Amino acid sequence: MRLKRHHFETIVTKLGLITRNSGDRHAWFEHDGKIIARTKRSFGTAELPTDLIRQQLKLNEDQLGNLVGCQLGRAEYIEILRGRGLL
């Protein structure tokens, strides 16, 4: 799967990630006041480092595809993180 900027923004919206713009677009997932996962994307690149973003969000390839393809939302993401012992 190739991740584009609009896919990244879809992920930000679906997971309710908190964002900050500096030299890059930084995004992080908070749960109960604790930061669980962080990622970022460059403003200048059309294609993003899919494997790096996937790893930073603690997802496998299928889960990332489902997240971009609308089969996975915030509640399911929380369950994945719980299953991995991160929550």
Report the 10 Å Cβ neighbour count for 8.
Answer: 20
pLDDT at 45: 66
CA 69 from centroid of its chain's CA atoms: 13
Distance separating alpha carbons of residues 60 and 81, to the nearest angstrom: 12
Tens-place pLDDT, residues 15-56 = 999 999 988 889 999 999 999 999 998 887 667 888 899 999
Grouping H, G, I as helix, E, B as strand and the rest as coil, residue 68 is helix
Tens-place pLDDT, residues 48-84 = 888 899 999 999 999 998 998 888 999 999 999 999 9
Q: Dihedral of the CA atoms 41, 14, 29, 36 (nearest 10)?
A: -110
First to last CA, the chain: 27
